[in-house]
Structure 1
Amino acid sequence: MTSEVDLSTEQRTGPAGARVPARVPASRPRPGAAPRPGAAPDPGAAPDPRAAAARARRARLPDVLVGAVAALVGLALFSWRVGAPSPSRDEAVTVAVAGRGAGAIWRLVQDVDLVHAPFYFLVHVLFGSSVTVEQARWPSVLAAAATAPLLHGLARRLALPAVGPGTARAAGVAAAALWLVTPVVSRYAQEARPYALAALVATACTYLLVRAGASARRGWWVAYALGLPLLGALNTLALGVLLAHAGWLLASAPAVRRRGAAAAGAGLALAAPLLLAQSTQSGQVAFLLPPSPQQLPEHVRFALGSGAAVVAAAAAVAAALLRARARRLLLVGLLWGAAPVPLLWLLSQVHPLWTTRYLVAAVPGTCLLLASAVTLALPRARSPRRAVPVALPRRAVPAVLALALVAAVGVPGLRAQAHFRDARAGHLEDLRGAAEHLAAEARPGDGLLFVPDGEYRYRVLTQVYPDAVAGLRDLALARPAEPSATLVGVPVPVERLAAALAGVERVWVVGGPGPLVAVTAQDRETVRLLRRGYRLVQQRDLHDYGVKLYESTTPSAGA
């Protein structure tokens, strides 16, 4: 007999005693050696890291493409007619302040507008002293465009543990698309104020938190902690996103909770000095009043752009609460995109802070909340015979839900999108129209007054459109804005108003539309002097602006 050892030698005995070559066992390739072309993979070999990296890149490619398309669409949409709407007074203040030197900006924010200091410096660094309204809006345009791909990645990662890659990607696409088509996003994507930047940083912080929870790298936690003070610097109330972060951490593993709490605590500690400094200027929001109950639904309708979109969004949220599989996506959306609205309303009953622009940083959370409806759990097919025909439509359901949801919000909102880009009414204040009227109708030597004056900031018109008032005399201005380190300048004392009006035959008064509104003692004295020695001969009412011409009733215009 021939042993097994004998059969492994060079030759063995074949049929009829013939000698045939022995089989040579296949040799394993040397470690690191390239496999032979056409060779089958060795199941016992170690995984090739380069092949794994290539597969990972191929898997990420669709999401990279979606993010790039979302950013480009956002850039095109948000830059459309970016310079068309007349600036609001807040935007005009941005242009006026950012056009000053860095030292002048720093002196200003020691006493007022510290909350907007980062944005003022950013616009100043980008555009210098000759900044225009359109240029000052571009940081918001870019921030809003960059938020879209971040939302896609965030929604996909929040949904992925509960659903398949296809459904998670559909949820991400829905969140990004909802951000692009929601009318209030376009409104503040073209605002020369930091609200779109705050929404971007809030989204980035949430993305960093989710990435950190799924990674062993400490760098994600460090980036998250450093993002929080930046968020607080841009908008204090945007830190309300921490409520969603806390909810996500509570739903995570204990180790992730501990690291997240430490990172959030470190970030808030870094933000504390600036937040304390900002709190000393809380008088800037003293004009706000406690909101009425009807302002809650009014805000929701304004944000979504139409009543039809509100109904569609309510249906989507109800369906998500009942059937959404991606519960973490739903949780973060509820705590970030829904809860801050009633919470700010309740807080404002005690300390009034209610205004729509302070809730812009919550809109990304609203998009996540609505996108969770894409992950609805569907009933299983009862009959095995129908398994094949039902499988294909079921795979298409998330994409169909995403498309329907985006259309239900976007299509009714087209009218609001066009309105927000209207030259006169887009930003609710026709400051440009008031300047154009003065430029066309005023004569050199005419007087100029602002009623109400002071914190109502109508005088900012002279800083943004100086050519329109070049030949006019600002009768109630004692010191200009920049030398006095104020937003609109220092008015003359009340007792000097009569002397300032002496001998002036024509006086232009800029303020709100309709009758003159006297708020301060100086305003009341101005109105008294005008009624005693002048008569109204011309009035032009614009959006939130009124331009009135008064002529002296005596040749000497004596007071």
Structure 2
Amino acid sequence: MRVRAWPVWVAPVLLTLAVTLTGLGRAQLWRDELATWSAATRPVGDLVRLAGTIDAASGPYYLLVHGWVELAGDSTTALRLPSALAMTGAAGLTAVLGARLAGFRAGLLAGLLFAVLPGTSRYGQEARPYALATLLAVAATLLLVAASRRPGAARWVAYALVVAALGLVHLVALTLLAAHAVWVLADRPGGAAERARRLGRWALAVLPAALVVAPLVVLARGQRGRQLDWVDAARPGDLAALAGGVTQSGVVGGLLVGLAALGAARLGRRALLPGGAVLLPMVMLFVAGSLVPLWVPRYLVFVVPFGCVLAGVALTVAPLPPAVAVVVLAGLLGLPDQAALRRTHEWPRGATVDYRGAARIVADERRPGDAIVYEPRDSWLFLDLGLAYHLGDRLPRDVLASEDPVRRGDLWAAECARPAACLAGVDRVWLVVAGRRADPVAAVPGAKGDALRTFRVQRVRQPHGLTVALLSRR
């Protein structure tokens, strides 16, 4: 059967679907996904309040997941399935974009290469907005090409709607518009007046999206200090690590960069759109990240399909069988990372936090009247969310929580000011501490630690990344 007998997107879609669904629920939810679960399972009013407090940038995504959870539940597989489907759609659209810009074979190879990248699996198996942003970024670019070459109100409206959705899902992905603007100006020859008309038409399409997203930008900017307090300023060395970060494999990332560079050289002027869609968001985020804490490699996952388009062009210099062999090689080189990301989503891979193991320890030995205490309480590890997700109604009473995260409109609970008084009447306490601690009570500072030292340690267990101690009243 001839390859062209099938639409260019079919093979990439089927391959990506198979890859992303394999082991979809195997790795337990990690800290960022626990934040998604906590937000998405709140009533809509409480979810809106959370967006106003700490996580406005992710608020629209949380609202989408809230609706999904109402239909599909909140199992690990259910929470991740929308991302797997989004990455599958992104693979198909990558193939279509590549075919539109450089021919059928370039599109097919681009889509297949995107399917086998470890990063496609990693972010296609994560309950976070990056897969959806990737889908929307490719869709917006494809619509831009269609609207520019066959102008029509319906195409520009569709483009405007997708750009607005892209901004609502992932604000950083709006840096893609810089590449769109450059391409609109340079795509076709014409005088200054003609270029101004093209740019004006594009700006008119983008304007509604800007108006929709602007309030979110203002709100998110005010929350940056809390939301990104863990991010360091960008350094030149970070650029060298970016390809490995977004593809989740240094070797595969290096191969992709090399192929993309060859493809850009082969395309010449036609590389302006995919090349700009890779380079301009990267440069803009790096410059911004050197001034304020914004440089997080996974924020740029949405540029990967455009790199794959360029790589697909490079592979067309060879007949189809050897070109497909290079795609297979990329898949084989990424197999260790594919296996690792299905064990844990933490980075580095050895830094697993075994919330499920800790929950199992508590569930096996808990008694009515038991309490549970966490240290640290306000960290990004979300110890309380991890235990709550896995234990549900079996979770012991969170005795030190004076106000839970939902009531606070936050991701963290407030703890009582007088721990000894809050622990009065409690005979057994489960203490969950980050890291491996021979003496877990000693790891608890201040009045909280003093109150816990009135108990004696009965047992200490250490699931990966955590210490779980059972304390009983002296």
Q: Shorter chain as normaliser: what TM range?
A: 0.7 to 0.9
Residue 483 to residue 311, structure 1, CA distance change in 2 (3 Å): closer
Q: Does 1:459 align with 2:384?
A: yes
Corresponding residue to 1:196 among 131, 147, 163: 131
Tell me the amino acid that sits aligned with residue 432 of structure 1.
Answer: R
Q: Is the 8 A contact 1:89 1:431 kept in 2?
A: no
Corresponding residue to 1:414 among 335, 352, 368: 335
Give a deviation string over 1:194-241, Cα, whole Å, max 9, x none.
110011111111111011111032211121122222111101101121
Counterpart of 2:298 in structure 1 is 357
> How far apart, in 2, do the equivalents of 1:430 and 1:298 lie?
27
Residue 517 to residue 239, structure 1, CA distance change in 2 (3 Å): farther
Task: Return 5+ residue gaps in structure 1 as ranges.
Answer: 1-60, 160-167, 377-396
Give a deviation string over 1:428-479, Cα, whole Å, max 9, x none.
4432222122212444433311111125322112431234743x23121012
> How far apart, in 2, do the equivalents of 1:498 and 1:270 lie?
49
Q: What secondary structure does 1:411 align onto? A: helix
Q: Does 1:182 align with 2:117?
A: yes
Q: Is the 8 A contact 2:28 2:356 kept in 1?
A: yes
Q: Does 1:482 align with 2:403?
A: no
Q: Does 1:239 align with 2:174?
A: yes
Q: Is the 8 A contact 1:98 1:128 kept in 2?
A: no
Corresponding residue to 1:228 among 163, 185, 188: 163
Q: Does 1:549 align with 2:469?
A: yes
* 1:455-534 superposed matches below 5 A: 455-456=379-380, 457-467=382-392, 469-470=394-395, 472-493=396-417, 496-502=418-424, 504-515=426-437, 524-530=446-452, 534=456
1:146, distance to aligned residue in structure 2 (A): 0.7
1:307, distance to aligned residue in structure 2 (A): 4.2
> How far apart, in 1, do the equivalents of 2:328 and 2:19 lie?
16
Give a deviation string over 1:279-316, Cα, whole Å, max 9, x none.
23223222322245544434422433444324433432
Q: What secondary structure does 2:53 align onto? A: coil
Q: Does 1:150 align with 2:93?
A: yes
1:171, distance to aligned residue in structure 2 (A): 0.9
Give a deviation string over 1:336-395, Cα, whole Å, max 9, x none.
22443454344223211222331222222221232232355xxxxxxxxxxxxxxxxxxx
Counterpart of 1:270 in structure 2 is 212
Q: Is the 8 A contact 1:75 1:142 kept in 2?
A: yes
Q: Does 1:134 align with 2:77?
A: yes
Tell me the amino acid that sits aligned with residue 128 of structure 1.
Answer: E
Corresponding residue to 1:297 among 233, 236, 240: 240
Q: Is the 8 A contact 1:332 1:368 kept in 2?
A: no
Q: Is the 8 A contact 2:260 2:307 kept in 1?
A: no
> How far apart, in 2, do the equivalents of 1:506 and 1:306 lie?
45
> How far apart, in 2, do the equivalents of 1:338 and 1:270 lie?
26
Corresponding residue to 1:284 among 199, 203, 227: 227
Q: What secondary structure does 2:85 align onto? A: helix
Counterpart of 2:145 in structure 1 is 210
* 1:240-389 superposed matches below 5 A: 240-253=175-188, 254=195, 255-282=197-224, 283-291=226-234, 293-322=236-265, 324-325=266-267, 327-328=269-270, 330-341=271-282, 343-374=284-315
Tell me the amino acid that sits aligned with residue 277 of structure 1.
Answer: L
Residue 274 to residue 145, structure 1, CA distance change in 2 (3 Å): same
Flag the structure with larger Rg.
1
Counterpart of 1:430 in structure 2 is 354
Q: What secondary structure does 2:373 align onto? A: strand
1:172, distance to aligned residue in structure 2 (A): 0.4
> How far apart, in 2, do the equivalents of 1:203 and 1:347 lie?
23
1:534, distance to aligned residue in structure 2 (A): 4.8
Residue 102 to residue 523, structure 1, CA distance change in 2 (3 Å): farther
Residue 63 to residue 112, structure 1, CA distance change in 2 (3 Å): farther
With 184-193 and 335-344 compared, the bigger mean Cα shift is at: 335-344
Q: What secondary structure does 2:7 align onto? A: helix
Task: Give me the TM-score of the superposition, normalised by structure 2.
Answer: 0.86
> How far apart, in 1, do the equivalents of 2:324 and 2:371 lie?
58
1:174, distance to aligned residue in structure 2 (A): 1.6
Give a deviation string over 1:17-55, Cα, whole Å, max 9, x none.
xxxxxxxxxxxxxxxxxxxxxxxxxxxxxxxxxxxxxxx
> How far apart, in 2, do the equivalents of 1:516 and 1:198 lie?
43
> How far apart, in 1, do the equivalents of 2:115 and 2:416 lie?
48
Task: Give me the TM-score of the superposition, normalised by structure 1.
Answer: 0.74
> How far apart, in 2, do the equivalents of 1:312 and 1:63 lie?
30
Counterpart of 1:448 in structure 2 is 372
Residue 423 to residue 358, structure 1, CA distance change in 2 (3 Å): closer
**Higher relative helix content:** 2
> How far apart, in 1, do the equivalents of 2:67 and 2:439 lie?
38
Residue 140 to residue 478, structure 1, CA distance change in 2 (3 Å): same
Residue 487 to residue 517, structure 1, CA distance change in 2 (3 Å): farther
> How far apart, in 1, do the equivalents of 2:254 and 2:51 lie?
43
Task: Return 5+ residue gaps in structure 2 as ranges.
Answer: 189-194
Q: Does 1:538 align with 2:463?
A: no
- Percent identity, aligned pairs only, is 32
Residue 523 to residue 399, structure 1, CA distance change in 2 (3 Å): farther
1:515, distance to aligned residue in structure 2 (A): 4.4
Q: What secondary structure does 1:83 align onto? A: coil
> How far apart, in 1, do the equivalents of 2:236 and 2:453 lie?
39
Counterpart of 1:45 in structure 2 is none
Tell me the amino acid that sits aligned with residue 460 of structure 1.
Answer: L
Superposition RMSD in Å: 3.1
Q: What secondary structure does 1:549 align onto? A: strand
1:184, distance to aligned residue in structure 2 (A): 0.9
Give a deviation string over 1:165-198, Cα, whole Å, max 9, x none.
xxx1111012111210110110110111111001
Residue 293 to residue 134, structure 1, CA distance change in 2 (3 Å): same
> How far apart, in 1, do the equivalents of 2:334 and 2:377 lie?
37
